[in-house]
Amino acid sequence: MAPWGDRTILISDMADQYVEFFCALKQGDLFFSWSKTMGTSYIGVFSYYVSSPLSLLTLLAPNENMPVALMFLTVLKLGLAGLSYAVFSTRKFPSAEITTVLCASCYGLMSYNIAFSLSIMWLDGVIWLPLILLALERAYRERFSRNLTLSRLSEAVILPLSPDKGNCLLYDASLPASMCLENDLKMLLRMRELLE
């Protein structure tokens, strides 16, 4: 593997597209790019492919060394995935040190991560998943005074909290959809009036 050999991780879309997207990030114009045909908006490409905060590290590498920078970025993301799982594991199971290291290594190097290391934007979700689960579980415990389990996970998703009232949203299933839409529009208009 580069930089120690002549092989790189640049296969498939990584070689054809992603290197160019990361190189275009260095030009600094997030809204327009001349790199496609007669020029086009770059914001869609930016937001889908290179908007990860870790992508800013590629700004430090010259364009000719971008394959090496992407390899290091991939390794960094795999390591951060393992670290985020270690944080999750130590909060959930504080007494299992060696198990935490082993499971964090397995999480960081699981086959999903290796397969999708060719599309490195998907690795950010793997990094954030354990931290999101910790936050979701803590919020659920504070709200309902019990632990979040798999059988109760639907409660956390089905019973969304209303941000303005702090209680669960209630929907009347017997109301026609137009009435629900009308009620939501009235609430939006009230919110707009409050903001003006």
The verdict on 174 and 145 lying in the same domain is no
User: 53, 54, 77, 67: which is closest to 23 by C-alpha?
Assistant: 67
The verdict on 114 and 192 lying in the same domain is no
The verdict on 115 and 190 lying in the same domain is no
The verdict on 153 and 189 lying in the same domain is no
Compute how many other C-beta atoms are within 10 angstroms of the C-beta atom of residue 28.
Answer: 7
Tens of pLDDT, residue by residue, the chain (196 residues): 555 666 666 677 777 777 878 887 777 766 766 666 666 777 777 788 888 899 889 889 898 888 888 889 999 999 999 999 999 999 988 877 888 999 999 999 999 998 888 888 889 999 999 999 898 888 888 877 887 777 777 766 666 555 544 455 555 667 676 776 777 778 778 888 887 7
The answer to whether residue 147 is domain-embedded is yes
The answer to whether residue 72 is domain-embedded is yes
The verdict on 185 and 118 lying in the same domain is no
Residue 166's pLDDT is what?
A: 47
User: 148, 152, 169: which is closest to 160 by C-alpha?
Assistant: 169
The verdict on 151 and 169 lying in the same domain is no
The verdict on 105 and 185 lying in the same domain is no
The answer to whether residue 56 is domain-embedded is yes
The answer to whether residue 153 is domain-embedded is yes
What is the domain range of residue 176? 160-196
The verdict on 111 and 175 lying in the same domain is no
The verdict on 90 and 142 lying in the same domain is yes
The verdict on 168 and 125 lying in the same domain is no
The answer to whether residue 3 is domain-embedded is no
Domain count, the chain: 2
Q: Which pTM does this prediction carry?
A: 0.70
The verdict on 55 and 29 lying in the same domain is yes
The answer to whether residue 26 is domain-embedded is yes
The answer to whether residue 4 is domain-embedded is no
The verdict on 122 and 194 lying in the same domain is no
The answer to whether residue 190 is domain-embedded is yes
Give the DSSP letter string of 78-146. Answer: HHHHHHHHHHHHHHH-TT-HHHHHHHHHHHHT-HHHHHGGGSGGGHHHHHHHHHHHHHHHHHHHHHHSS
